[in-house]
Amino acid sequence: MLKQNNHSNRRIVLASRPKGAPVPDNLRLETADLPHPDDRQVLLRTVYLSLDPYMRGRMSDAESYSAPVAIGEVMGAGTVSRVVESKHPDYKTGDWVLNYGGWQDYSLADGKALKKLDDDLLAHPSWALGVLGMPAFTAYMGLMDIGQPKTGETLVVAAATGAVGSVVGQVAKLKGCHTVGIAGGQDKCRYAEEVLGFDTCIDRRADDFAQRLAKACPDGIDIYYENVGGAVFDAVMPLLNTSARVPLCGLIAQYNMQALPEGPDRLSLLMGLLLRKRIRIQGFIIAQDYAHHYDEFIQVMAPWVKQGKIQMREDIVDGLENAQQAFIGLLQGKNFGKLVVRVGNDSL
Amino acid sequence: MLKQNNHSNRRIVLASRPKGAPVPDNLRLETADLPHPDDRQVLLRTVYLSLDPYMRGRMSDAESYSAPVAIGEVMGAGTVSRVVESKHPDYKTGDWVLNYGGWQDYSLADGKALKKLDDDLLAHPSWALGVLGMPAFTAYMGLMDIGQPKTGETLVVAAATGAVGSVVGQVAKLKGCHTVGIAGGQDKCRYAEEVLGFDTCIDRRADDFAQRLAKACPDGIDIYYENVGGAVFDAVMPLLNTSARVPLCGLIAQYNMQALPEGPDRLSLLMGLLLRKRIRIQGFIIAQDYAHHYDEFIQVMAPWVKQGKIQMREDIVDGLENAQQAFIGLLQGKNFGKLVVRVGNDSL
């Protein structure tokens, strides 16, 4: 049974900055008073909380694309919530909304930070955090705007059963690409091929991973959608074709890195490769680079989801108190599908 | 006096592949019979020969964007030539043409490999190899298509008095950028500022080069036009702004590298930077990526050159027999302006 109640607010704050991989002590569950909405604010009860790899960056105080979470501050997160009290004319008790409520039972928001869920989503509110939300939007824009898939090209993406990778592979397939996924373990690989429709999925844990990848890409790689880095990128580099495109939205394999690896220094190797092969690599952050394309994304993706052309497996963990461990597992690839914490009940 | 004559053909062939920096023995001047044109061919006498850094790549047999020159084969090069004998209906004796004639006194061509010089160029035929040719085209397309300069942005380019860098800086200035050049030595820096109009030019040989570059870019770097690599890129990296663009057309500092530098391995550092700062790096080769934009380039550049808005200093070396040493000097930055060899006289 979910522990949320209506007279206090449990929240998970950043207790200390991780050194390398986060450990449970870096996060602390604490209980605070229920907040009260001011004029033009609403009080929201979190139902679903999205856990995503980018949150690792915000736990560090190294320079990054968004401000770090302060020590003692509630961890940020996209959430699907219900309005429990409204002092805003546009929202009423019971409304389902998408907000950036953070790792907690209750949050306050003004109208600007809120978005009512479309009717389509009411049957599956958690999809607003996945297949019709930020991860799928990230997958779609990076692939379409930077990747520019063409019929017959070969696309490779890692974390192929994850929230981003699964959509990258399915959209690329719809665009006529030969799609090669990479995932951790046989179960995920089978799912990627049988359910998500990847032409092949390679187990990144295999001893001969690089050889298998090369064999799965007999015509080289035209689009490598980069969300992991590390050993996967090492295996991808020699396979990149002339005029390849590399949309870069994440580097989960290096988020916990505390020092650069030993040499030789391959920076010049990479630059030389980009020149000789005329390759484009481009980093992007969905909210900053593509927010104005959101409606376009939904208009394309919602019908695909409705028609079953795009699927996203969800890995739902019950209880805010289990969020820390779930997040630590996410960085280790333990989740199988889009990781969501069910913080509260659907019903009011 | 230029040694070209009309009964034999001097030519410079690749004698051996360089190990590291090219040495004179890697190239050999030899004399062959004058070639004779077949039907629909023309015999051309080289007047100007273009020497460019990309030729270093073709001396190696490592994988590159174009096939290597074979041992014993004439070194390739863009040339401005005059027709001395024509069996092609579209060309007559005396015509000035742009061709890829190579490092030799005479060459044969069919109509497809030739381009008559526009009337505008007849007063300055060598400009077809520089300010109205491949180097300026490289500068313009990389800057405009990938760099996408906007008023008020900061652009940095190295080899600022060279064939590519000088045009990058001047076009960026016309587009309203704050332009920072990098060059080797005080004379070149003064020229870059006083004649080419760079806002600042930094001597790459200065002990405190990185500090000077940072000081010259108080608002960071929005566009880094990459044509050198090495220590310049190292100094540029920490200054790159969010959403910076890095057109990549050359890496002269690493062409002679025989092994990767010692560690740490900064590949993950670069990838992390591209992600956090949402940077675009894109390699390109002018002939392969932008040939279809040539007319557009000339329509913009020719008036600028005529009006004196874009200048390119030429460094003209007399005599084919001096091409080897001039090319070795080019890779060391000894040239001052676009390096051209005057192989023959202008007059027929």
Q: Quick: pLDDT tens for B21-50.
A: 999 999 999 999 999 999 999 999 999 999
State how far the Cα of A118 lies from the Cα of A63, in Å rounded to an integer: 36
Q: Residue B127 contacts by C-beta under 8 Å, 6 or more apart in sequence?
A: B121, B133, B305, B312
Q: Which helix (H) or strand (E) holds B314?
A: strand B314-318
A192-209: per-residue pLDDT in tens? 999 999 999 999 999 999
Residue type, A1: M
Indicate which of A240, A271, A285, A286 best probes the interface with B, i.e. most B CBs within 10 Å of its own CB. Answer: A271
Q: Return the CATH class of domain A134-288.
A: alpha beta
Q: Which helix (H) or strand (E) holds A317?
A: strand A314-318
pLDDT tier for residue A1 given thresholds of 50, 70 and 90: low
C-alpha to C-alpha distances, B207 to B202, B226, B253, nearest whole angstrom: 11, 21, 18
Distance from CA of A66 to the nearest CA of B (A): 9
pLDDT tier for residue B3 given thresholds of 50, 70 and 90: confident
pLDDT, average across residues A186-197: 98
Q: Which two tokens stand for residue B117?
A: 């010089």
Bond preceding residue B264 cis, omega within 30 of 0: yes
- The residue of chain B nearest to residue A284, with distances taken between CA atoms, is B278
Closest CA to A163 of A45, A250, A81, A283: A250
- Please say whether the beta carbons of B246 and B157 come within 8 A: no
B8-130+312-342: what fold?
A: Quinone Oxidoreductase; Chain A, domain 1 (3.90.180)
Q: What is the sign of the dihedral through the CA atoms of A193, A198, A199 and A202?
A: negative
Q: Which residues in chain B have their CB less than 8 angstroms from residue A268's CB?
A: 229-230, 251, 254, 257, 260-261
Judged by CB atoms closer than 8 Å, whether chains meet at B278 and A261 is answered as no
- The residue of chain B nearest to residue A231, with distances taken between CA atoms, is B268
More confident residue, A6 or B8: B8
Of A251, A263, A277, the CB nearest to B263: A263
Indicate which of B224, B267, B282, B285 best probes the interface with A, i.e. most A CBs within 10 Å of its own CB. Answer: B267
Q: Which two tokens stand for residue A295?
A: 């409606």
pLDDT at A67: 80
DSSP states of A218-287 = TT-EEEEEBSS-HHHHHHHGGGEEEEEEEEE---GGGTT--SPPPSS--HHHHHHHHHHTT-EEEE--HH
pLDDT at A2: 73
B135-288: what fold?
A: Rossmann fold (3.40.50)
- Please say whether the beta carbons of A241 and A222 come within 8 A: yes
Residues of A with CB under 8 A from a CB of B: 57, 63-65, 226, 229-230, 233, 242-243, 248-251, 254, 257, 259-272, 274-285, 288-289
A34-51: per-residue pLDDT in tens? 999 999 999 999 999 999
Judged by CB atoms closer than 8 Å, whether chains meet at A281 and B280 is answered as yes
Q: Residue A190 contacts by C-beta under 8 Å, 6 or more apart in sequence?
A: A201
Q: Which two tokens stand for residue B171?
A: 């076009």
Judged by CB atoms closer than 8 Å, whether chains meet at B263 and A260 is answered as yes
Q: Which helix (H) or strand (E) holds A316?
A: strand A314-318
Inform me whether the pLDDT recorded for A65 exceeds 90. Answer: no
3-state secondary structure of A108: strand
Judged by CB atoms closer than 8 Å, whether chains meet at B278 and A281 is answered as no
Q: Which helix (H) or strand (E) holds A328?
A: helix A323-331
Q: Which helix (H) or strand (E) holds B190?
A: helix B186-194
Spell out the domain ranges in chain A: 8-130+312-342, 134-288
Report ipTM (2 d.p.).
Answer: 0.95
State how far the Cα of B230 lies from the Cα of A150, in Å rounded to an integer: 35
User: For residue B39, how many other CB atoms are within 10 A of its CB?
Assistant: 7
Q: Which residues in chain A have their CB less than 8 angstroms from residue B268's CB?
A: 229-230, 251, 254, 257, 260-261
Computed over every residue of chain A, the mean pLDDT equals 95
B302-320: per-residue pLDDT in tens? 999 999 999 999 999 999 9
SS3 content of chain A, % helix, strand, coil (to 5): 35, 25, 40
B328-337: per-residue pLDDT in tens? 999 999 999 9
Largest interatomic CA distance in chain B = 63
3-state secondary structure of B109: strand
Q: Which helix (H) or strand (E) holds A174?
A: helix A165-174
Indicate which of B56, B248, B275, B288 best probes the interface with A, i.e. most A CBs within 10 Å of its own CB. Answer: B275
What do you get for the CA distance between the two ends of chain A, in Å? 15
Fold agreement between B8-130+312-342 and B135-288: no
pLDDT at A64: 67
State how far the Cα of A66 lies from the Cα of A56, in Å rounded to an integer: 12
